[in-house]
Amino acid sequence: MKHSAHAGPPENATKAFVVALFCSVIIAFWTQHSELVIDSPSFNSIHPSVAGFFAIIVISLFVNPLLSRLRRRWALSQREMLTIYSIMIVVGPVVSIGGVHFLLGTLIAPYYYATPENEYVELFHRLIPSWFGPKEPEAIRHFYEGSEGAGVPWSLWIRPLVLWSLFLLAVYGLFVCMSVIVRKQWVDREKLTFPLVQLPLEMTRPPAEAQSYNAFFRNPLMWMGFAIPVVIHGVNGTHTYFPQFPEIQYRNINLRGLFTEAPWNKVGRFSLSFYPCIVGFAYILTLDLSFSVGFFYLVQKAQLIVGAATGWSSRGALARFPFVDEQGAGAFIVIALSGFLLAGGHLRDVMRSAAFKAPDVDDSREPLPYRWAVVGYLLCLAFLVGWSLVAGMTLGAALVFFLLFSLFSLSLTRVRVQAGLGAVHGPMTVQDLMMGVGGTQFLGAQNLTVMGHYFFMTGEMRGVMSVMPSHLEGYRLAEHVRINPRKLVVGVMLGTTIGLALAHFAALRTIYDYGGNILNNWRVKDMPARPWKDLRLWLTNPRDVDWVGLQFVGAGALITVALTFLRLKFVWWPFHPVGYAAAYTGRTIHWFWFTLLLGCALKYMALKHGGPKTYRAFLPFFLGLILGDFFMGGLWGVFGLASSQPGYLFFP
């Protein structure tokens, strides 16, 4: 769609940054209540962040029309709103599982869950650096059981919070620099679709003269799409708070019960769900991509049945067949490495500019000069490796860990900006991959213990790693409406720093007031406790090199190479390597595989029976599905502020 000719209100970058930072403060506190207290885990674990997106919805639908009527210059321009949005979608995950929730519990769990039976004390307590977190027994007990009015023991928390905040800021700096390095290749040369930026662009376009709303908000088809999730979530949200009210069953419809005989009953988790926002995103995607995600998910299920029929999955070495996590890890590695091959010319330009200030390489449109980006990445990497060395890791293990972490983050970003999948769980973790390659005895107990603390970054790709694609989507929006990208980076990092500090304060206050044992189990207990259960297993039952698992990592890599080659060779080839990688990412793919196929089918019918004109005509309807989903997610989050009972979970 073309930009409106109407110039809109005058622009003020300072005003946008102030509003964004104000919203960061609100989100830092709001998130803790929504996600920890009323148990609404999707608030910032679907991307873009519901909290950040909701801020722009409120401004577009309510605040800006009112300000325009009072005084036109008070209203926010499109650039200002997208500046706010670009900061918010980064801050959202940072104040949640992308920087706070998993981390805090991880620092406490190895002590709280230590018992004579599991031998945590004897096995690895001595290996945990003294500066990683509080060790005073009462502070640890109060974290899980409540402080009974004593509040947060800040004297014990200040030092570890400062040190871990520096660690996280280095990780976020790593993401900023990598995003700058790949931006031009992905945007200008490969022309990736960035499906998640289309809706904020349409929402924030300036209205025509004397109009309160732009053409997007005055389109009846958009409101028809908007109404579907509003009705679904309106009914089901009301049912959550008033159980006597009816409920619409539209997700997790179990299909496994249809398969009762062997080998079909080994299909594993298999269900149908309908998520309006995923239908909307699928409509924006290319047909081959959305189709490939659903297709390869069904291939994964077929592999489970084949494994049962042949007896492979009942034998020792092949018991994990079809090794979904391993295939996914191979795919993720190849997606990152193949990106380097495709970007060979661009990366040479980046390195020439960084090393020699090559005058023929123009980096004036980049969020950072290439020299700053390359040097910044190396400095952040050196800081993280140095931190790990001080904590007791060996140089080789620390360097390999953060290089693999960089590769996985790059692959996740590619999946999101190309496939629009803002809820990808991820394949096997970096720790598991390193364990499979080297075995536990080669890595050693000290490396394993420190890497256990890093599980908060790798155990769930919707957490820390999701910050990098948010950076790149912000840069893409900046380019669309000519926001100064270098000012935007300053705003994003400032919002990140403030949001992280406030979220640590708000989360600890919430946890000590309520007690972690009665808060969101996944965030406060389950994920933080998992690395210590695994570490105990690794230390008491050492693992050798996982040769079988590595073969399936190689198989996933080869399949991705083949799909990439065939896609480049044949225009008609229908299977996309990113679709294969996304289909082998574990838990979250079970939620939206069917919805992606549904959106793909609807787009196919629009193109087949009406061509591009019909596709564009119906696009507002599908954008309305996304808008309605995120609006209701935020609205129920606001409603939940007045309650301490479990709230409504709009996704998954």
Q: Is residue 431 part of a domain?
A: yes
pLDDT in tens, 263-301: 888 888 888 888 898 999 999 988 999 999 999 999 999
Tell me what percent of the residues of the chain surpass a pLDDT of 90: 59
Instruction: Please tell me the predicted confidence (pLDDT) of residue 389.
Output: 97
CA-based nearest residue to 186, from 413, 487, 363, 423: 413
What pTM was computed for the model?
Answer: 0.93
pLDDT confidence bin for 12, thresholds 50/70/90: low
Q: How far is CA 298 from CA 270, 579, 652, in A?
A: 10, 12, 20
pLDDT in tens, 303-327: 999 998 888 877 777 888 899 999 9
pLDDT in tens, 583-635: 998 778 888 899 999 999 999 999 999 899 999 999 999 999 999 999 998 88
pLDDT in tens, 434-463: 999 988 889 999 999 999 999 999 998 888
The mean pLDDT of 85-113, rounded to a whole number, is 93
Q: Is residue 7 part of a domain?
A: no
Instruction: Phi first, then psi: give them for residue 321, nearest 5 degrees.
Output: -55, 135
CA-based nearest residue to 88, from 33, 49, 41, 43: 49
pLDDT in tens, 331-374: 999 999 988 888 889 999 999 999 888 888 888 888 999 999 99
pLDDT in tens, 494-530: 999 999 999 999 999 999 999 999 998 989 999 999 9
The residues pairing with 254 across neighbouring beta strands, listed in sequence order, are 271
The residues pairing with 272 across neighbouring beta strands, listed in sequence order, are 253
Hey, what amino acid is at 454? Y
Q: Is residue 440 part of a domain?
A: yes
Local structure of residue 8 (DSSP, 8 states): -
Q: Is residue 651 part of a domain?
A: no
Q: Is residue 20 part of a domain?
A: yes
The mean pLDDT of 203-227, rounded to a whole number, is 89
**Domain total of the chain:** 1
Domain that holds residue 275: 14-640
Give yes or no for a contact between 15 and 76, defined as CB atoms under 8 angstroms apart: yes
Give yes or no for a contact between 376 and 399, defined as CB atoms under 8 angstroms apart: no
Query: Which residue shows structure tokens 């995607």?
Result: 285
Q: Is residue 130 part of a domain?
A: yes
CA-based nearest residue to 288, from 634, 91, 567: 567
Q: Is residue 649 part of a domain?
A: no
As a whole number of Å, the CA-based R_g of the chain is: 24
pLDDT confidence bin for 1, thresholds 50/70/90: very low
Instruction: Please tell me the predicted confidence (pLDDT) of residue 7.
Output: 46
Instruction: Please tell me the predicted confidence (pLDDT) of residue 41.
Output: 59
Q: Is residue 6 part of a domain?
A: no
Kindly report the average pLDDT of the chain as a whole number.
90
Instruction: Please tell me the predicted confidence (pLDDT) of residue 42.
Output: 67
